[in-house]
Structure 1
Amino acid sequence: MSNGMDLPAQVTVNTASHSSGSETLIVRVDQPVEGIDFNVHTLLRGTDGGLITPTSRKVECRWFRSKSRRGCSFENCPNSNRIATIQNLQNGLRYCSNQCFQSAFHNKNKKSSKSSSNSILVTIDEKDRKFISVEPFQEENGWEIISNEKTYVPSKEDVGYILRVECRAVTPDGRISAVANSKETPIVVGLPKPAPPRSLFTNPDSAKLRHQMGMKFDSSKVRILSYNVLADIYATKQLYPYCPMWALSWRVRRKILLREILAYDADIICLQEVQQDHYTEFFYKELEGLGYQGLYKAKTRVAGKIDGCYTLYKKERFRLVESNTIEFNSVARAIARTNAFEQRNDALRRLLKDNVAQIIVLERLDGDMSHTQGGNTLCLANTHIFWDPEYSDVKLWQTHLLLQELERVVRNRKNIPLIFCGDFNSMPSEAVVELLKSEKVSETTKPNDPCNILPPVQSITHSLGLISAYEHVTGNEPRFTNYTGHYVGTLDYIWVSRDSVLPVSTLLIPNEKTLRGTDDTPLPNTRFPSDHLALCVEVEISPTNAQAQTLSMNQYQMQ
Structure 2
Amino acid sequence: MGRAYFRELKYSNQCELVFPLKITNDKSETIIEQEIRSVRQRTDNIHSLLEHTVNKIKKILEQTQNATIEINISLTQNGNDIPGNTPCATVISTYKDVVFTICKQTFKLIMNAPLVQSATLPVILYINYPVQPIRFKTLNAEKDLSEFSWYTSSDKLTWTKVGTTYKYTPTANDLDKFLKFQCIAKNCSAEGPVFEIISDMPIEEMGALPKCPFEKRHEHTQTRLSGKQIRVVSYNTLSNRYSETNSQFPYCSPQALSIDYRKQLILKELIGYNADIMCLQEVDHMLYLNYFKPKLAKSFKSIFHKKGNRISEGLACFYNSNRFKLLESKQLVFSAEIRSNVLFRQKWNLIRQSDVIKDCFVKQPTSLQVTILKSKELNEIIIVANTHLYYHSEANDIRLLQASIATDYLKHVFNRYKRSSKGMRISVIFCGDFNSVPTSAVFNFFSRGVVQHTFEIDEETLIRNICLNHPFRFGSACGTPDYTNYTGDFKGCLDYIFYDENSFKVAGCIPFLEETILSEKTALPNEVFPSDHIALVANLEFK
TM over 0.5: yes
Determine the C-alpha separation between the residues in 2 that align with 1:56 and 1:461: 56
Determine the C-alpha separation between the residues in 1 that align with 2:264 and 2:270: 10
Q: 1:480 aligns with which of 475, 478, 483?
A: 483
Determine the C-alpha separation between the residues in 2 that align with 1:253 and 1:381: 26
CA distance 1:338–1:527, change in 2 (3 Å): closer
Higher RCO, Cα 8 Å, sep 6+: 1
Determine the C-alpha separation between the residues in 2 that align with 1:165 and 1:238: 23
In the alignment, structure 1 segments of 5+ residues that lack a partner are 1-27, 42-53, 64-147, 170-180, 203-216, 472-476, 543-559
Match of 2:457 in 1: 450
Q: Does 1:467 align with 2:484?
A: no
Determine the C-alpha separation between the residues in 2 that align with 1:528 and 1:406: 33
Determine the C-alpha separation between the residues in 2 that align with 1:255 and 1:56: 31
Q: CA contact under 8 A between 1:400 and 1:461: conserved in structure 2?
A: yes
Match of 1:21 in 2: none
Match of 1:357 in 2: 368
**For residue 321 of structure 1, what is the amino acid of its counterpart?**
L
Determine the C-alpha separation between the residues in 1 that align with 2:491 and 2:330: 33
Q: CA contact under 8 A between 1:333 and 1:348: conserved in structure 2?
A: no
Q: CA contact under 8 A between 2:353 and 2:457: conserved in structure 1?
A: no
Per the TM alignment, residue 410 of structure 1 is displaced from its structure 2 partner at its CA by 2.2
Per the TM alignment, residue 411 of structure 1 is displaced from its structure 2 partner at its CA by 3.2
Determine the C-alpha separation between the residues in 2 that align with 1:492 and 1:363: 25
Match of 1:280 in 2: 289
Q: CA contact under 8 A between 2:457 and 2:463: conserved in structure 1?
A: no
Q: 1:383 aligns with which of 387, 402, 413?
A: 387
Per the TM alignment, residue 535 of structure 1 is displaced from its structure 2 partner at its CA by 0.7
Q: 1:431 aligns with which of 441, 462, 472?
A: 441
Q: Does 1:322 align with 2:314?
A: no
**For residue 533 of structure 1, what is the amino acid of its counterpart?**
I
Alignment of 1:474-513 (within 5 A): 477-513=480-516
Q: Does 1:198 align with 2:216?
A: yes
CA distance 1:450–1:503, change in 2 (3 Å): same
Counting strand residues as a fraction of each chain, which structure ranks higher? 2
- Deviations 1:167-213 (Å, cap 9, x if unpaired)? 9x9xxxxxxxxxxx9x99587451431413234799xxxxxxxxxxx
**For residue 431 of structure 2, what is the amino acid of its counterpart?**
C
Match of 2:300 in 1: 292
- Deviations 1:205-242 (Å, cap 9, x if unpaired)? xxxxxxxxxxxx98442111111011111113221111
Determine the C-alpha separation between the residues in 1 that align with 2:177 and 2:356: 57
Secondary structure of 1:379's partner? strand
Determine the C-alpha separation between the residues in 2 that align with 1:427 and 1:187: 40
CA distance 1:60–1:225, change in 2 (3 Å): same
Q: CA contact under 8 A between 2:456 and 2:463: conserved in structure 1?
A: no
**For residue 258 of structure 1, what is the amino acid of its counterpart?**
L
Match of 1:100 in 2: none
CA distance 1:410–1:342, change in 2 (3 Å): closer
Secondary structure of 2:338's partner? helix
Secondary structure of 1:325's partner? strand
- Deviations 1:424-482 (Å, cap 9, x if unpaired)? 0000001000011111124xxx36533699986453112201111112xxxxx211100
Q: CA contact under 8 A between 1:319 and 1:364: conserved in structure 2?
A: yes
Q: 1:312 aligns with which of 315, 318, 328?
A: 318
- Deviations 1:120-166 (Å, cap 9, x if unpaired)? xxxxxxxxxxxxxxxxxxxxxxxxxxxx98744569xx9xxx84579
Secondary structure of 2:264's partner? helix
In the alignment, structure 2 segments of 5+ residues that lack a partner are 1-120, 135-144, 155-161, 183-197, 419-424
- Deviations 1:277-324 (Å, cap 9, x if unpaired)? 33333333333x32311122222275xx43211111111110011223
CA distance 1:154–1:397, change in 2 (3 Å): farther
Q: CA contact under 8 A between 2:179 and 2:202: conserved in structure 1?
A: no
CA distance 1:469–1:343, change in 2 (3 Å): same
- Deviations 1:222-263 (Å, cap 9, x if unpaired)? 111111011111113221111111211222212221121112
Q: CA contact under 8 A between 1:38 and 1:153: conserved in structure 2?
A: no
Determine the C-alpha separation between the residues in 1 that align with 2:228 and 2:426: 18
Q: Which moved more, 1:458-467 or 1:382-391?
A: 458-467
Q: 1:409 aligns with which of 410, 413, 436?
A: 413
Match of 2:190 in 1: none
Match of 1:244 in 2: 253
Determine the C-alpha separation between the residues in 1 that align with 2:150 and 2:348: 60
Match of 2:239 in 1: 231
Determine the C-alpha separation between the residues in 2 that align with 1:457 and 1:201: 48
Determine the C-alpha separation between the residues in 1 that align with 2:481 and 2:210: 25
- Deviations 1:497-548 (Å, cap 9, x if unpaired)? 112111111121112232244xx22111111111111111111123xxxxxx
CA distance 1:449–1:276, change in 2 (3 Å): farther
Determine the C-alpha separation between the residues in 2 that align with 1:166 and 1:416: 54
**For residue 507 of structure 2, what is the amino acid of its counterpart?**
V
Match of 2:26 in 1: none
Q: CA contact under 8 A between 1:231 and 1:275: conserved in structure 2?
A: yes
Q: Which moved more, 1:333-342 or 1:428-437?
A: 333-342
Q: CA contact under 8 A between 2:236 and 2:433: conserved in structure 1?
A: yes
Give the alignment's TM-score, normalised by structure 2: 0.60
Per the TM alignment, residue 419 of structure 1 is displaced from its structure 2 partner at its CA by 1.0
Q: CA contact under 8 A between 2:127 and 2:204: conserved in structure 1?
A: no
Identity among equivalent pairs (%): 27
Q: CA contact under 8 A between 1:218 and 1:540: conserved in structure 2?
A: no
Secondary structure of 2:283's partner? strand
Q: CA contact under 8 A between 1:403 and 1:462: conserved in structure 2?
A: yes
Determine the C-alpha separation between the residues in 1 that align with 2:240 and 2:321: 28
Match of 1:221 in 2: 229
Q: CA contact under 8 A between 2:129 and 2:169: conserved in structure 1?
A: no
Determine the C-alpha separation between the residues in 2 that align with 1:60 and 1:35: 16
- Deviations 1:317-375 (Å, cap 9, x if unpaired)? 10011223221102333349975555364442121211000122211113xxx2xxxx3
**For residue 539 of structure 1, what is the amino acid of its counterpart?**
L
Q: How many residue pairs get matched? A: 371
Determine the C-alpha separation between the residues in 2 that align with 1:394 and 1:339: 14
Secondary structure of 1:524's partner? coil
Alignment of 1:169-188 (within 5 A): 185=202, 188=205
